[in-house]
Amino acid sequence: MRQAGFTAVEIAILAVMMGILVALVLVLMPAPVVHVEVKEVKLEAPEGDVTFSPESFTFSPKELRVAPERLVLQEPRIEIEERPGEPAVPRGASFEANKVQCLNNVRQLSGLLLVASLDKYPEYGGANLMLYLVKKGEIPADFLEVLFCPGDRNDTLENSGGFAAYGDADLRKREYGYLTSYAGRDMTRAECVIRKGSAQVHVLLCDDSEDHHGNRGIVVGLSDGSAKWRDKVDAYGMDLDAPLVVGETSDIEELVCLREE
């Protein structure tokens, strides 16, 4: 006959059944629903002036992207310096821009003179040395700007009379200084004639006046087809206020054989 109470086996079976029941309850229980209420957030700017320090902003170049169509290029600002009794001349950035353009013009003219004739330079001097290039067709009508320094306020293509003035020019005359900004080597003077292919480099042409560059120097074109800037102080050892003369009366040896007309 069995005694009252549960045996160890029965207790174990009962524990297993209770565990299974609890597991079923957890599996079948629905997931809790969480409701989150989002309220509107308002940001108010502080009253008064707001000051930002440049140090508080740091940008990485890789983070900056600028579309090409958003870029706007501005014309360089030209400042004009006026002196009593003298033509107004540009200074600052425009001074450098004019010098560069003048160097380009003179370099092209020097190169054209170098190849204009096979064995020797044209037998002209002054402005006619460059006008020979127009007559020969080396400088076409739409390229006459090359004959003028952009810093020249007196002689300009607009004031020259246009292409007709070059076509009517008689190169036997010495009266065409206004048709170019540059003085040419006088190949009509025996002591100034130079040979093509000479190892010695000579000046073929230069600004006919230092006021093209604010009285600070001139551009010279050389017989090797190059162009150089000659600073009055650095290249010629002159005082800045001393006049720089081009021609027979010049104190600068390399400029003695050049003339304007």
Q: Has residue 227 been placed in a domain?
A: yes
Alpha-carbon gap, residue 147 to 164, rounded angstroms? 15
Contact (CB, 8 A) for 214 and 201: no
Q: Has residue 130 been placed in a domain?
A: yes
Q: Has residue 75 been placed in a domain?
A: no
How many helices and strands, by DSSP H and E, does the chain display? 5, 7
Residue with token string 């600070």: 216
Per-residue pLDDT, 17: 75
Contact (CB, 8 A) for 149 and 99: no
Asked whether the predicted pLDDT for residue 230 surpasses 70, the reply is yes
Q: Has residue 232 been placed in a domain?
A: yes
Domain encompassing residue 221: 97-259
Domain count, the chain: 1
Q: Has residue 190 been placed in a domain?
A: yes
Which CA distances in Å does 52 have to 49, 63, 136? 10, 21, 66
- Percent of the residues in the chain that have a pLDDT greater than 70, as a whole number: 67
Give pLDDT tens digits for 40-86: 545 454 455 444 344 443 434 343 333 433 333 333 333 445 545 54
Confidence of residue 144 (pLDDT cuts 50, 70, 90): very high
Cβ neighbours, 10 Å, residue 227: 21
Q: Has residue 82 been placed in a domain?
A: no
Do the strands 258-259 and 182-185 form a parallel or antiparallel pair, or are they unpaired?
antiparallel
Q: Has residue 113 been placed in a domain?
A: yes
Per-residue pLDDT, 71: 30
Q: How far is CA 126 from the centre of its chain?
A: 32
Q: What pTM, to 2 d.p., does this model score?
A: 0.65
DSSP 249: T
Give the chain's mean pLDDT: 78
Confidence of residue 13 (pLDDT cuts 50, 70, 90): confident
Per-residue pLDDT, 254: 97
Q: Has residue 67 been placed in a domain?
A: no
Contact (CB, 8 A) for 80 and 88: yes
